């Protein structure tokens, strides 16, 4: 308790002392789990940070620390940013959840935004993207394009976010190609080029001619290119250096509009704790250009799915859908609720294999 008071009073004192100087500069901190040059997850968050700088110019000062381990190190980095006068701090990895809540308690006047988590407070918001909408587009393309009817999927960790993506891709591949089969390899990493390349090679050897990945490196793209007749999709970032083939499209995380909006809210004093889960419609999930390697009719079908999700006329999880064990989940025309989606821990009917425990 003593430390808490000490920290709070220090923050207040700092705020008073520097009040005049800071009145027209909003300081925004970013905590990154990887290096800004990872070409995927952290890279896109840093693009968002740069967009904030570009948008507000002199009125904003951004700072970031990269490669921050989840746990006490993250807590220290956040505390340090808050002590140094940050008004708003984005913590961009699921593992930062408890540290963010801990630090937010000590600095009630600093706003925190935690990506992909579920714990909120008066000064902690959460935000995430509906990547599964992008997976529906990918599944549609994959189902049309596969000739072996085997689609390989590189999973990172068996968490709801990833399982949701697998289910969405499978449902939409199956819709256009009833014979389609998914082979899933768990890499147990978000970013490890060597492991990801191995996973891609294993899948290709098993006959997969489409590879979907939920890991961030371009290694699977390179493996597909080496193998020849295999297509892939960019993950987190466009990965357009592998276009038009193997990379035929991509899911792009676009945090810029959200970061700009939240920074503006802090400036205007209208910031409130909220849970944001945006998709294609709000621009948080971007679909990278579908390359010429995809026939025009397939491209049109994929874009139709994209547009229908963007305008809200179609939901990727619309019944009838059964769970893997055959039990009913969604009735005809029923749409999945966000609560179930957020904690999704089951495969839909037709996917083979078990979710690792």
The yes or no reply on residue 323 touching another protein (CB under 8 A) is: no
Pick between residue 241 and residue 354 the one whose CB is nearest to another protein.
Answer: 354
Q: Which is nearer to another protein, 33 or 142 (CB)?
A: 33
The bridge status of strand 150-155 relative to strand 210-213 is: parallel
Using CB under 8 A as the binding rule, whether residue 10 contacts another protein is answered as: yes
- Residue 229 interacting with another protein (CB under 8 A): no
Question: Is 158 near another protein (CB under 8 A)?
Answer: yes
Which of residues 148, 188, 245, 281 is near another protein by CB under 8 A?
Answer: 188
Is there binding between residue 225 and another protein (CB under 8 A)? no
Interface with another protein, residue 85, by CB under 8 A? no
**Is 356 near another protein (CB under 8 A)?**
yes
Distance CA 108, CA 330 (A): 42
CB of 1 to another protein, least distance (A): 6
End-to-end CA distance of the chain: 38
Contact flag: residue 121 with another protein (CB under 8 A): no
Nearer to another protein, 35 or 295 (CB): 35
- Shortest Å, Cβ 45 to another protein: 14
Is residue 22 near another protein by the rule CB under 8 A?
Answer: no
Distance CA 227, CA 308 (A): 34
Beta-strand runs (E) in the chain? 26-31, 60-65, 88-91, 111-115, 124-129, 150-155, 181-186, 210-213, 231-234, 247-253, 275-278, 285-288, 321-322, 328-330
Alpha-carbon gap, residue 253 to 290, rounded angstroms: 16
Residue 343, number of CB atoms within 10 A of its CB: 13
Q: How far apart are CA 25 and CA 28, in angstroms?
A: 10
Rounded Cα distance between 234 and 250, Å, is 4
Which residues lie closer than 8 Å to 23 by C-beta, 6 or more apart?
Answer: none
Contact (Cβ atoms closer than 8 angstroms) between residue 291 and residue 255 = no
Strand 321-322 with 328-330, pairing: antiparallel
User: Is 311 one of the binding residues for another protein (CB under 8 A)?
Assistant: no
Closest residue by Cα to residue 217 from 187, 247, 193? 193
Backbone angles phi, psi at 2, to 5 degrees: -60, -45
Q: Does 29 bind another protein (CB under 8 A)?
A: yes
Q: Judge contact between 174 and 204, C-beta under 8 A.
A: no
- Draw the binding track, 39-78, toward another protein (x: CB under 8 A; -: no contact): ------------------------xxxxxxxxxxx-xxx-
Question: Which lies closer to another protein via its Cβ, residue 202 or residue 261?
Answer: 202
| Cβ closest to another protein, residue 10 vs residue 22 | 10
192 lies in the binding site for another protein (CB under 8 A): no
Q: Do 201 and 230 meet the contact criterion of CB atoms below 8 Å apart?
A: no
When the beta carbons of 59 and 119 are compared against another protein, the nearer one is 119
CB of 95 to another protein, least distance (A): 6
Binding status of residue 320 toward another protein by CB under 8 A: no
Give yes or no for residue 9 binding another protein (CB under 8 A).
Answer: no
Region binding another protein by CB under 8 A among candidate stretches 52-60, 146-154, 158-166, 254-262: 158-166
What the block records as the tokens of 338 is 């966000």
- Provide φ and ψ at 197, rounded to 5°: -65, -45
Out of 43, 56, 90, 94, the only residue in the binding site for another protein (CB under 8 A) is 94
The one segment of 268-276, 319-327, 328-336, 341-349 that binds another protein by CB under 8 A: 341-349
Residue number with CB closer to another protein (42 or 309): 42
Interface contacts to another protein, rule CB under 8 A: 1-3, 6-7, 10, 29, 35-36, 63-73, 75-77, 79-81, 83-84, 94-95, 98, 102, 118, 157-160, 188, 342-345, 356-357
């Amino acid at each position: 308790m003593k430390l808490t008071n000490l920290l709070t009073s220090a923050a207040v004192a700092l705020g008073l002392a520097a009040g005049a100087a800071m009145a027209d500069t909003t300081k925004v901190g970013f905590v990154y789990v990887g290096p800004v040059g990872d070409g995927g997850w952290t890279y896109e968050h840093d693009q968002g940070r740069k967009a904030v700088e570009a948008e507000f110019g002199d009125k904003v000062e951004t700072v970031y620390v990269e490669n921050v381990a989840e746990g006490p190190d993250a807590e220290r980095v956040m505390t340090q940013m808050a002590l140094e006068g940050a008004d708003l701090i984005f913590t961009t990895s699921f593992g930062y959840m408890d540290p963010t809540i801990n630090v937010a308690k000590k600095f009630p006047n600093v706003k925190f935004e935690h990506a992909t988590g579920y714990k909120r407070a008066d000064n902690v918001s959460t935000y995430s993207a509906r990547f599964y909408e992008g997976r529906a587009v990918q599944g549609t393309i994959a189902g049309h394009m596969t000739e072996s009817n085997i689609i390989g999927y590189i999973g990172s960790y068996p968490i709801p976010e990833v399982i949701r993506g697998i289910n969405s891709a499978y449902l939409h591949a199956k819709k256009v190609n009833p014979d389609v089969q998914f082979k899933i390899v768990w890499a147990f990493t978000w970013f490890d080029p060597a492991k990801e390349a191995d996973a891609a090679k294993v899948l290709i050897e098993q006959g997969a001619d489409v590879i979907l990945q939920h890991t961030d490196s371009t290694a699977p793209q390179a493996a597909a290119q080496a193998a020849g007749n295999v297509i892939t999709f960019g993950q987190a970032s466009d990965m357009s250096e592998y276009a038009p083939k193997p990379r035929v499209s991509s899911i792009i995380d676009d945090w810029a509009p959200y970061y700009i909006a939240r920074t503006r809210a802090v400036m205007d004093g209208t910031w409130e704790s909220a849970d944001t889960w945006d998709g294609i419609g709000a621009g948080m999930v971007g679909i990278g250009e579908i390359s010429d390697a995809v026939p025009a009719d397939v491209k049109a079908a994929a874009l139709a799915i994209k547009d229908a999700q963007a305008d809200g006329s179609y939901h990727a999880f619309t019944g009838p859908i059964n769970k893997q064990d055959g039990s009913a989940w969604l009735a005809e025309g029923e749409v999945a609720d966000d609560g179930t989606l957020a904690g999704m821990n089951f495969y839909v009917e037709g996917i083979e294999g078990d979710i690792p425990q």
